[in-house]
Structure 1
């Protein structure tokens, strides 16, 4: 009940983030139920492998939805007053439980909405079953297994609660502005992942959605490793950008922008790396689609849009947290006489420095990642 009151009493911005989590969980629940419905509608021998492949590809939107719910569930308790929580008798454990319960509650609400919509489209709620282009994934006319549907819909809330609790239970962060230690490891992981992708042969073990062909498991594993490398290297890249901006007798503008990037590296680095990894995957999918002349199906387009919304929401939440954390420093600079144009210029310079590094890096990795599909 307390977690529900926390979500219901949130501000407009926080409420919008929670509604985004509900929508993402609902979309992911529809994808999971569509895999179940496709298995019910294609129960003939040999179709089980196809249902398993569909369920495997659902892991990507599941992972992004869980990450979004954990980020939103982790962001709200950061603004709570520790003294106020102590006065209410709420310690660290209670804060962790509230954040995890709020994330699970939002995901459970989205899963419930997905189940209602899925049952409505199947005609189980008294209507006529949907007979459009996606009717094959509904399994209309077949009895929906309650245990299977409940198991699939419980994955996102339980995983979101666990990840949110783990994020809130982390030990105290390193000193702000200290250089992150993950840049060499991230570069190494990215290089290994790209090497695996480039050297991976064409394979037909894992079919791609929407008839885009098939790939070998090594190609998918290489992409996952390279994406993990980008996420790990993100904080180090942001900190390096800040160091380069503040290099060699900087003026007030470069000094403000560089120091701010160095202090915000741990907060915005990983979401930025995740955004770059998603962009490389989007370029790869576009290359496959244009090369074979196929068009993405409705479910694949929906899953891609869902992943994009989740990644953008994660990045936006991290940027908003960074701005809130910088509010006291900005107020102090204004009290010292800093002009608004100087502060705006520092923001523009920070954004330009990040784009100058992220865009060429994403283009380079995307170009190398598409080699196995085009050769």
Structure 2
């Protein structure tokens, strides 16, 4: 009962995020059922049916990623002091998160099944004068096993991903590198070092001949702590790794798309077919998207550093440090949104030419992917705000005005928009340029 109360007694914003997961699951489930209807209506076109099913992998992955982001920000399933004493330890809370995700996605799958049966005319008479009969296999019986399997894909994968990501981990001590200090270095509260200071002044470092000029001897003579190595920042975790490889992936993908543009494909990017000769273009775009996603955390970290250039004040310093600390958490969802935006621009470029109109299934798939990407970014922003609660409370106790904190948040959002909007448009234009020639 306590588990149910933790799930039900949530804020409206939490319930809204769960409903977004259910809506994304409903859209993806309807696309999967549409693939089944097309396969039943066109049994001779096995290749086209398999291609439709492969296209559904993109909205399915976007839905699972959104479900994982929502599960991480659920305050009702977050470990808190005292819950372990009543049987709600980390493992139990992980199970609750997985169950909530399963319920949300199963609700979406049921909505998709109801809508699919309604459009087929199985519940009432066929609506819209039978306009959906061509891809829903109206009048043909649905195989129960295939229908249940397709509807269980998103709930099963999303639940497994949440359970895997939120599984309790054994707390292991972090192995920190031990700093070796000279025994004669003067430290606060160290009475044992007083007697060795004279030895250091007379003979230099321990184990070194008198008068020898070594870094350890110089450190002992000055009585100061050795400076950290260049490139290390003890107050910052460092920039996310992999930025050079990510830039190389983006360049490789754009090059592959440029070569694919020599034989312009037929503009028919739908769930029905792939343009002729577009395999290299799809591969190039996949490399570009992966490189952009991997590069975004490093670019977010760089954006935070740029905010602190040229004698920053308190506002810019707070905003820049916040971006540097949140680079990995906010960077991946931002990179996914940038990749989806660039892909949408490329698709609209393809449809500028006279060709088959943008079908309803393609529009639904694009809406699911774009909506999941945007909702995941907003959810990541909520998670970042939750992780910054203690820091915000400490700043408020020190007397920081609320307007400064809000201004820093607005400055972070403006800096990300000003940095990534031109970058996304440039990559989208370069990706679509071979298709417009």
Q: Structure 2 length normalisation: TM-score? A: 0.78
Structure 1 equivalent of residue 376 of structure 2? 314
When residues 312 and 2 of structure 1 are mapped into structure 2, their CA distance, relative to the original with a 3 A threshold, is farther
Q: Does 1:180 align with 2:180?
A: no
Q: Does the aligned pair in 1 maintain the 2:267–2:350 contact within 8 Å?
A: no
Candidates 269, 286, 290, aligned match of 1:208: 269
Query: Shift of the alpha carbon at 1:79?
Result: 6.4
Moved more, 10-19 or 101-110: 101-110
Query: Shift of the alpha carbon at 1:2?
Result: 7.4
Structure 1 equivalent of residue 420 of structure 2? 358
Moved more, 214-223 or 24-33: 214-223
**1:115-151 Cα distance to aligned partner (Å, 9 max, x none):** 12211222223x1123343321111111101111111
Q: Does the aligned pair in 1 maintain the 2:52–2:272 contact within 8 Å?
A: no
Structure 1 equivalent of residue 391 of structure 2? 329
Q: Does 1:247 align with 2:309?
A: yes
Secondary structure of 1:81 counterpart = coil
Compute the RMSD of aligned alpha carbons. Answer: 2.7
Q: Does the aligned pair in 2 maintain the 1:211–1:294 contact within 8 Å?
A: no
**1:248-299 Cα distance to aligned partner (Å, 9 max, x none):** 4311111111111111112111111011001101110111111335531111
Structure 1 equivalent of residue 256 of structure 2? 196
Query: Shift of the alpha carbon at 1:186?
Result: 2.1
Inter-partner Cα distance in structure 2 for 1:73 and 1:359: 28
Moved more, 285-294 or 113-122: 285-294
When residues 194 and 94 of structure 1 are mapped into structure 2, their CA distance, relative to the original with a 3 A threshold, is farther
Q: Does 1:100 align with 2:71?
A: no
Moved more, 335-344 or 18-27: 335-344
Inter-partner Cα distance in structure 1 for 2:395 and 2:381: 20
Query: Shift of the alpha carbon at 1:241?
Result: 0.8
Query: Shift of the alpha carbon at 1:369?
Result: 1.1
Instruction: In structure 2, list runs of 5 or more residues that go unmatched.
Output: 175-233
Q: Does the aligned pair in 2 maintain the 1:192–1:225 contact within 8 Å?
A: yes
Q: Structure 1 length normalisation: TM-score? A: 0.90
Aligned residue runs from structure 1 range 117-128, under 5 A: 117-125=115-123, 127-128=124-125
Structure 2 equivalent of residue 16 of structure 1? 16
Aligned length, in residue pairs: 372
Q: Does the aligned pair in 1 maintain the 2:72–2:383 contact within 8 Å?
A: no
Structure 2 equivalent of residue 256 of structure 1? 318
